[in-house]
Amino acid sequence: MLKLPPALRTRNALVTALGVVLIAGTTTVVAQTTPMEPIQWDKRRLEQLDRNVRRIERALTQRNAAGQPVIVEPDPEVVALTGRVTIMDRRLGDLEATLQRVNGDLERLTFQLDESTRDNAALETRLRTAETRLRDIAAAAQREAELNAPISSTSPTGDAGRDLAAAVRLAASDPAMGDRALQTVTLAWPDTPQAREANARLGDLRVSAGDHAGAVAFYAAALNGWPTTPWAGETVLELASALNANDRKTQACTALGDFDRRYAAGVTAAARSRAAALRTQFACPAARRAG
């Protein structure tokens, strides 16, 4: 409410005062008689309110400077708006605090997720390693079972020549399995040239493994009947070497004598030179060399 000094009681002064009141938007009589629609506080209205407030401030400053103080009651709408702004400030503060807590929770969850990802990667690596070891163990067990199974006497192909060729190829890449395949040839095709050659190759495999005693048995089986095949002369020399390695020098010299009588004429010069070197190495008697 405005309290006017006596100097403003004239008509013109009253009109001036009413103009100031109208500029401030505080005509309470109209507000009491005519209901006002709710004000939509958009940008335009806020700018208008700001201009009106500035006008009121200038008017109050002028009157205060003239020694005519004016007491202005706050506009209820301004008070209500100020209260709403204060409430909004508090709510914004609450939202900010909530967002900070949420961000903190998200950071913790992200850290835990990273740790879980690393743990899962480590577990996956260990699992792959365990699976690889299990496969290796299973493969080794299967191979061991195959190597310890009884030797089959059934021809894989139905042909002695093809069986021998397949066994020779397998022995070149996998001696253990090739050994079994060669033994299958000897069982499936006994008393055949293929069986004799398979025995000779079995003797070679035993020598490669350091089993000279086993090699002697296979070489003897290969030379049973003194075959005339191209490999027979070299096999006699291998037999002599295996016999000597088993401390059977007399029999080794006898084998060299058989080589001279049966195969020396049909073998290469390198084979004859090797036979001579073996006789010297074994210190065979001259009578044995003469045959």
- Name the burial class of residue 145, with classes exposed (0-12), middle (13-18) and buried (19+) by CB atoms within 10 angstroms of its CB: exposed
pLDDT tens digits for range 262-289: 999 889 999 999 999 999 999 998 644 4
Residue linked to tokens 């103080």 = 69
pLDDT of residue 215: 95
In this prediction, residue 36 carries a pLDDT of 63
Regions in the chain scoring below 50 on pLDDT: 1-4, 7-24, 26-31, 287-291
pLDDT at res. 143: 79
pLDDT digits (tens, 9 = 90+) for 159-196: 999 999 999 999 999 999 999 999 999 999 998 999 99
Residue 163 CA to residue 202 CA, distance in Å, equals 14
pTM of the model: 0.55
Q: What is the pLDDT of residue 26?
A: 45
User: Which residues fall within 8 angstroms of residue 154, CB to CB, at 6 or more apart?
Assistant: 184, 188
Tell me how far CA of residue 152 lies from CA of 49, 102, 202, in angstroms.
Answer: 109, 74, 16
The reported pLDDT for the residue numbered 73 is 66
Structure confidence at residue 144 (pLDDT): 81
Task: State residue 147's pLDDT score.
Answer: 75
- Residues of 279-290 as b/e, b for ≥16 C-beta within 10 angstroms? beebebeeebee
pLDDT at 192: 94
